[in-house]
Amino acid sequence: MKAFVERHSPQLMALPTFIVLIFFSLIPFVYVISLSLTDSTLARPFNDFIWFSNYKRAFTDEIFGASVINTLLFAFVVTSVQTLLGFVLALAFRGERKLGGVLRTLALLPLFTPPVAVAMIWRLIYDPTSGLINHYLLQWGVLDRAVGFLGSPTFAMPAIMIADIWQWTPFCFILSLAALQSLPTEPYEAAAVDGASAWQVFRRLTLPMITPSIIVIFLFRFLIALKVFDLVFILTYGGPGSVTQVVSFYIYKIGFTQFKSGYAATLSILVLILISIIATFMTVGRDLILKKQSS
Amino acid sequence: MELTRSEITESAVQQKTMGQRFGEVVLGRTVRLVLLLVFAIGVLLPIFYMGTTSLKEPIEIRETGAILPSRDLFIENWFRAYRNVPLYRYLFNSTVTAVVSTAIALLIAVPVTYAIVRFQVGGKILPAWILGTYVMPPIVVSLPIFAMLRTVKLTDTLVGLILVHSMANLPVAVWLLDSFIRAIPRELEEAAWVDGYSRFDTLRRVVVPLIRSGLVATGIICLILSWNEFLFALILTYSDASHTFPIGISRYEGEHGLQFGEMAAGALTGIIPIYIVVLLFQRYLVEGLTHGGVKG
């Protein structure tokens, strides 16, 4: 027995995780695939086997199409802004131990605030009568009438993006700062000896050395941003119309408020496929960029 | 441990030289102070505004959105927040869920991460699978998880939510612990094997003590993630018996729409403990985030 444990201890160490993966990943996956081929409701799962009817329906479902585009747009915009802002801030404070430390402490606060609370804070800020933005814009004469930002087709999406940028820019800042501070010093010393200008140092040293880290930060953040749910749930509930409809929220609505679990399962599978494709493309793209850079 | 210390001194040297040469030239100190100020205001204003709103009378909130209250401070919101929604119960539920699910996640994550790093268990598939479960939106597995928990009568119970939170935190824990375990010199473990330690003993007596700061960092991040989690709590709990704090703050909708004053007070009581933990353990949090974060 003892010998068996010792020989197979690496496998035994992985066993609990394996069980978790079977119950929370493999079985759910099989379940969702089979459910997606049926006309199920939450009360009556696996009701009628209908082959690919749900899939046909999904491809003509305009709201689902809109939610896919909204999700991609949301993720792309917030990730770009956050990565850029975070990097610029990190670049400015990389040499400042004290100020950089203060900034990093501040940065932890939004990052760890419950997303529901973040959404509530911003719902208050955007409110037409009780909110900060309308109050001061009216007072300063920028607006002559209160604007319901979250109910407006133009402003609703940017409003959600701003809340997300508030929460996640700190993440990109903290990681960029750490990446910058772990760069080797020798090239900089050599550049100083050669009398390189600040721009040259940035363009020829910092940028090439930091690019791999920035790409990793961007990819990671992008994939996480695709999961957006809480902000939409609290701020706009997908509206007005389906202007802020995103995939996670749409699946929730179909599955848990309209109880059409068969169709929700179908949408889940499509989202799974879509995200797998995106993740694959992004990692391949990253490897290509890095290869090109090193050659 | 030695490794991290030498890393720290190394980066201190870099900061000095780079700060003097490059940073100072591109962006002057004033520009940086302005940036700092803008950033600080940007981060703190929304939180501060929530604080002042929690001290405004409902009538005042309905009329104006000024940052500071113009009338007497209205503490009543803080009592109403607890009277109108059973927030104590929710905070209790959140605490239990966060603590127990974090303990479970760590117990499962430490051995598997060690097995992956040291013995390449599961080759490339296992780590990719674990990371994949984190990248996928939780909503895509919510239907089967709901169905499974309902079958074993665990919906609307803390036990059910704890199980789901542990599994949701598992990939995060593995991902964070990975770099800490990787940093341990292999020789230490090999010496332990020579001394007759079994692999489990080595993990318990050699590896775990060496990654203590990694465990703290991972534990706190998992605690906060569970405390903040909304989607599963929304789907799997439907009564006060198992509602958690995030569900609580979404429940201040009254007859006159959202009661901002009470909501702000209620939300702050759940946010302030997190901020205290974050400030107390910030060194660990930053280490945890950056250790795992920037690797390829």
B57 three-class SS: coil
B104-136 residue pLDDT tens: 999 999 999 999 999 998 888 999 999 899 989
Residue pairs spanning A and B at CB distance below 8 A: 324
Q: What is the pLDDT of residue B122?
A: 85
Q: What angle do CA B172, B231, B51 make, to 5 degrees?
A: 95
Q: Which of B27, B44, B167 sits opposite A24 (nearest CB)?
A: B167
Identity (one letter) of the amino acid at A231? L
Count: domains in chain B: 2
Residue A33 included in any domain = no
Q: Which of A132, A216, A264 sits opposite B49 (nearest CB)?
A: A132
Pick the residue from chain B with its C-alpha nearest to A267. Answer: B140
Residue A49 included in any domain = no
Asked if B60 and B114 sit in the same domain, the reply is no
Q: What is the pLDDT of residue B16?
A: 47
Which of B56, B80, B104 is at the close of a domain?
Answer: B80
Confidence band of B256 (pLDDT split at 50, 70, 90):
low
Residue A260 included in any domain = yes
Interface test with A, best of B34, B39, B202, B276 (most A CBs within 10 A): B39
C-alpha to C-alpha distance for B184 and B204, rounded to whole angstroms: 14
Chain B neighbors of A199, CB-CB under 8 A: 26
Q: A186 and chain B: CB distance < 8 Å anywhere? A: no
C-alpha to C-alpha distance for A161 and A85, rounded to whole angstroms: 14
Q: Which of A102, A216, A264 sits opposite B294 (nearest CB)?
A: A216
Cα atoms found within 13 Å of the Cα of residue A49, Cβ hemisphere only: 2
* C-alpha closest to that of A20 among B114, B165, B244: B165
Residue A163 included in any domain = yes
Asked if B144 and B62 sit in the same domain, the reply is no
**Residue B194: in which H helix or E strand, if any?**
helix B186-194
Beta carbons of B294 and A175 less than 8 Å apart = yes
Asked if B94 and B239 sit in the same domain, the reply is yes
Q: A125 and chain B: CB distance < 8 Å anywhere? A: yes
* C-alpha closest to that of A148 among A156, A140, A158: A156
Give the residue numbers spanning the domain of B32.
18-80
B38-67 residue pLDDT tens: 999 999 999 999 999 999 988 888 888 888
**How many residues are given for chain B?**
296
**How many residues are given for chain A?**
295
Count: domains in chain A: 1
Asked if B213 and B126 sit in the same domain, the reply is yes
Which of B36, B58, B80 is at the close of a domain?
Answer: B80
Asked if B146 and B245 sit in the same domain, the reply is yes
B201-241 residue pLDDT tens: 888 888 999 999 999 999 999 999 999 999 999 999 999 98
C-alpha to C-alpha distance for B262 and B82, rounded to whole angstroms: 8
Answer for the pair B206, B189: CB distance below 8 angstroms, yes or no: yes
Residue A207 included in any domain = yes
Q: What is the pLDDT of residue A236?
A: 93
C-alpha to C-alpha distance for B232 and B149, rounded to whole angstroms: 12
Beta carbons of B136 and A272 less than 8 Å apart = yes
Asked if B225 and B117 sit in the same domain, the reply is yes
Residue A254 included in any domain = yes
C-alpha to C-alpha distance for B131 and A42, rounded to whole angstroms: 29
Give the residue numbers spanning the domain of A208.
63-294
Residue B262 included in any domain = no
C-alpha to C-alpha distance for B199 and B14, rounded to whole angstroms: 39
DSSP-assigned beta bridge partners for residue B101: none
Residue B154 included in any domain = yes
Residue A32 included in any domain = no
What mean pLDDT do residues B241-251 have?
A: 91
* C-alpha closest to that of B226 among B285, B281, B169: B169
Chain A neighbors of B270, CB-CB under 8 A: 114, 117
Pick the residue from chain A with its C-alpha nearest to B287. Answer: A178
Asked if B34 and B102 sit in the same domain, the reply is no
* Burial class (CB within 10 angstroms; exposed 0-12, middle 13-18, buried 19+) of B228: buried
CATH code of B157's domain = 1.10.3720.10
Residue B269 included in any domain = no
Residue B274 included in any domain = no
Pick the residue from chain A with its C-alpha nearest to B171. Answer: A17
Residue A274 included in any domain = yes
Q: A275 and chain B: CB distance < 8 Å anywhere? A: yes
Beta carbons of A13 and B290 less than 8 Å apart = no
Q: A253 and chain B: CB distance < 8 Å anywhere? A: no
Asked if B76 and B121 sit in the same domain, the reply is no
Cα distances from A245 to residues A77, A231, A249, B42, B101, in angstroms, run 16, 11, 7, 27, 31
Q: Which of B19, B140, B246 sits opposite A95 (nearest CB)?
A: B19
Which of B251, B274, B291 is at the close of a domain?
Answer: B251
Residue B136 included in any domain = yes
CATH code of A113's domain = 1.10.3720.10
Q: At what angle do helices B87-119 and A9-21 cross, to 10 degrees?
A: 140
C-alpha to C-alpha distance for B3 and B125, rounded to whole angstroms: 29
Asked if B123 and B207 sit in the same domain, the reply is yes
Q: Which of A14, A16, A28 sits opposite B122 (nearest CB)?
A: A14
pTM: 0.90
Asked if B89 and B76 sit in the same domain, the reply is no
Q: What DSSP assignment string belongs to A23-54?
A: IIIIHHHHHHHHHHTB---SSSTT--B-TTHH
Residue B211 included in any domain = yes
Per-residue pLDDT tens listing for chain A (295 residues): 778 888 888 899 999 999 999 999 999 999 999 999 998 887 777 778 888 888 999 899 999 999 999 999 999 999 999 999 999 999 988 877 888 888 999 999 999 999 999 999 999 999 998 899 999 999 998 988 889 999 999 999 999 999 999 999 999 999 999 999 888 888 888 888 888 888 888 888 899 999 989 999 999 999 999 999 999 999 999 989 899 999 999 999 999 999 999 999 999 999 999 999 999 998 888 888 888 877 6
Answer for the pair B53, B260: CB distance below 8 angstroms, yes or no: yes
C-alpha to C-alpha distance for A66 and A245, rounded to whole angstroms: 7
Q: Which of B44, B139, B166 sits opposite A268 (nearest CB)?
A: B139
Residue B13 included in any domain = no
Q: What is the pLDDT of residue A118?
A: 95
- The one-character DSSP state at B254 is E
Does the pLDDT value for residue B295 go beyond 80?
A: no
A191-244 residue pLDDT tens: 888 888 888 888 888 999 999 899 999 999 999 999 999 999 999 999 898 999
Asked if B56 and B138 sit in the same domain, the reply is no
Beta carbons of B143 and A261 less than 8 Å apart = yes
Beta carbons of A116 and B246 less than 8 Å apart = yes
Identity (one letter) of the amino acid at A111? L
Beta carbons of B231 and A229 less than 8 Å apart = yes
Asked if B228 and B119 sit in the same domain, the reply is yes
Pick the residue from chain A with its C-alpha nearest to B112. Answer: A14
Answer for the pair B219, B287: CB distance below 8 angstroms, yes or no: no
Beta carbons of B11 and A181 less than 8 Å apart = yes
Using omega within 30 degrees of 0 as the cis cutoff, is the peptide bond preceding B273 cis?
no
